Chains A and B, each alone.
Chain A
Amino acid sequence: MPNQKQAAWKTASAKLTNTESQIVGQKMTLPKQLFFQALLLFITFTVVFPILWVVSMSFDPKADVMRPTTLKLIPDGFSLQAYLNILKKPTSNPVDLPTLFFNSLLLAAGSSFASVMVGVFAAYSFSRFKFAGRQVLMLAVIAVLILPNVATLAPLFVLLNRVQIDLGDITFNLRNSLLGVGLGLLTTLLPFSIWNLKGYIDTIPKELEEAAMIDGCSPNQTFFRIMLPLATPAIAITAFLGFMSGWTEFYLSWQFLTNPQNFTLAMALYNMTGQFASSTPWSHFSAMSVIIALPVSVVYLALQKYMSGGLTIGGVKG
């Protein structure tokens, strides 16, 4: 039955669009179709050109291509040698790739987790409660969002530099540690998370919470049993956007960190190009680019359809 209905509906709508297009005169002629296809193929070419270039260089069987002398968008063969070659020592700094990867992961996951866990409570409060000072506090959060992270670089550097952590065996300067960079990231990441989550929570209908309240839930129970489960997708997306900004964070770590064991993937990538990297083969650089971009790009692609609605796309300002 439903199939028949669907088929009937389809023919009906097909008829409708047919007559419609006859009226409008929009039915695409073949030459027009081919012209559009050619145009779109050209656009597709410009979009995939840099991606193909770098991916094919990273898979090139000659794993130590210093500089490509010809344009190659499809490699002669397939080899992971370039990836293996950068495993031990991707840059001139004494640090291996797994350490860099782990540092980036720790920084990104830690700061995004902290910002979301702390932020969701504040977001709920802004979205659902009416209280004195709400407007002022919200303005205080948005005002920070206007500022780029660079604006607080100097005071953060100076202040964190004064904090010496002493845990018996472990002593370190907070500025010169991944923890310090993560805290510095929170400066703008936390307000971003609060605001982003508030935007999502605003769109969740209040009726479910009201029903829970009538059934005798306290506000706190409502939050933990109704709101948090409902907001899980929003929390996941906000956390991912925060993760993206931490994963590609550059200027705080570049300014703060001096010990190569703390360096991140983004810093290594910066070291692998430009005027001071004349000894780095470009196939190594390409492999590094793919290593940084691939994991987050795949997740982003998967999450993308959930984000297309709002302006949250593109994530945190960098």
Chain B
Amino acid sequence: MATLTREKNSGPRDPRAPRKSFWRLVNPYFYLLPAMLVMAIMTYYPMGYGIWMSFTDFGLKNLRIDSAPPNGVGFQNYIDILTGAIAIPNFDFFYTLSFNLFWTFSNVAFHVVIGVLIAVLLNAKGLWFKGIYRAIFVLPIVIPTLVVARVWRNMFDPDFAAINQFLALMGGLVGFAPATFHIRWIESVTPPIPGIPLPLSYFALLITNIWLGWPFMTIVATGALQSISKDFYEAASIDGASPTQQFFSITVPLLRPAMVPAIIYGITLTFNLFNLIYFISGGGPLRQTEILVTTAFRLVNEQRLYGIAAAFAVFIALILLVITLITNRISRATESYDA
């Protein structure tokens, strides 16, 4: 109290007073400074440089410090990407983009449906060993994706690996010869289901990613399920609603607010799931399971077309921006959803 009055009385002549308010004003920026400095050098400068690179023919010849600067090519890189005039066999931007979108939504749909169903199953009253199951089902989340992908890649080996051996074991029980199950999961080019132009490796990737993805949705759904009041179900069953009716008119709508952010998170994660695709199918066969981020990596790592890779990254950024704007809209719409 004493200090307060003293400061007040001393007025503007006290040099401490204006300085203090100056620090108050500057302090927030002071706290931001280290992070902003690092981001300016390591994030924003490379991004800006990348945009400049995307308008040049930056290649291996321009890599050395003393080499000549690259030539400006205007929008040629962007046009080349869209028209497929790039020195990668079977390069088709629009095929890759549509496969990427299909890959994302088909995976997330499986994750959500399986994840919610298992969460509901685990939430059943009087079920034994709930805790044990919940502890085991968290395993796919905690193991690094890179290792998971590499292990599954070997499990899909046609000759020596677990999937085909297991199928042969099961098939043997009903009298199939083991040779029936010499399935070339990754390399096979002909689509397994006639009429659907998807290679077998897509299904191998899908199986792996379902294994990887549903437990997260189960965790989110379990949290939401436990917060649903039992009164709703009681009232519904008194009114004569069947368990199926209860599921669709109570559980599903009340899960929605919790699931929408999880789904959005799943969509962005799956859209950029580099590790899984690069380590299992490598985008094969014939680039049919390539997604945008694996293509971007190839452009840098194998083709060394740095200018084109930079332009490709701009496309990825624009597409992700559109996806984010759409999903933000959806999540805002559900925020106001009245349970």
Chain A residues in the interface with B (C-beta under 8 A): 17, 20-21, 23-28, 33, 36-37, 39-40, 43-44, 46-51, 53-54, 67-71, 118-119, 121-122, 124-126, 129-131, 134, 137, 140-141, 144, 146-148, 150-159, 161-162, 164, 183-184, 186-188, 190-191, 194, 219-220, 223, 244, 247-248, 250-251, 254-255, 266, 269-270, 272-274, 282, 285-286, 289, 292-293, 296-297, 300-301, 304, 308-309, 311, 313-314, 317-318
B137 contacts across to A, CB distance below 8 A: 43-44, 47
B211 with A67: CB separation less than 8 A: no
Beyond contacts A51-B143, A286-B151, A293-B147: 4 other A-B pairs, Cβ-Cβ < 8 A, are A150-B297, A154-B53, A161-B63, A313-B219
* Of B82-90, B120-128, B191-199, the one touching chain A: B120-128
Partner of A304, one of B27, B142, B152, B301: B142
A318 contacts across to B, CB distance below 8 A: 145-146, 272-275
**Interface residues of B, CB < 8 Å — how many?**
99
A129 with B316: CB separation less than 8 A: no
A184 to B143, CA, bound (A): 24
A164 to B275, CA, bound (A): 31
Partner of B300, one of A46, A157, A223, A317: A157
A26 contacts across to B, CB distance below 8 A: 124-126, 233
A46 to B47, CA, bound (A): 42
In B300-339, the 8 Å CB interface with A consists of: 300-301, 306, 309-310, 313, 316-317, 320-321, 324
A147 contacts across to B, CB distance below 8 A: 316-317, 320
A186 contacts across to B, CB distance below 8 A: 38, 42-43
A308 to B142, CA, bound (A): 12
Residue B74 CB within 8 A of the other chain: no
Partner of A129, one of B31, B143, B162, B299: B31
A36 with B121: CB separation less than 8 A: yes
Q: Which of B211, B268, B275, B297 has the most CB of A within 10 A?
A: B297
A219 with B58: CB separation less than 8 A: no
Partner of A190, one of B43, B234, B300: B43
B223 with A308: CB separation less than 8 A: yes
Mask of B117-151 contacts with A, CB within 8 angstroms, 1/0: 01001101111110001001111111111111011
Mask of B259-298 contacts with A, CB within 8 angstroms, 1/0: 0011001001100111100110010000000000100110
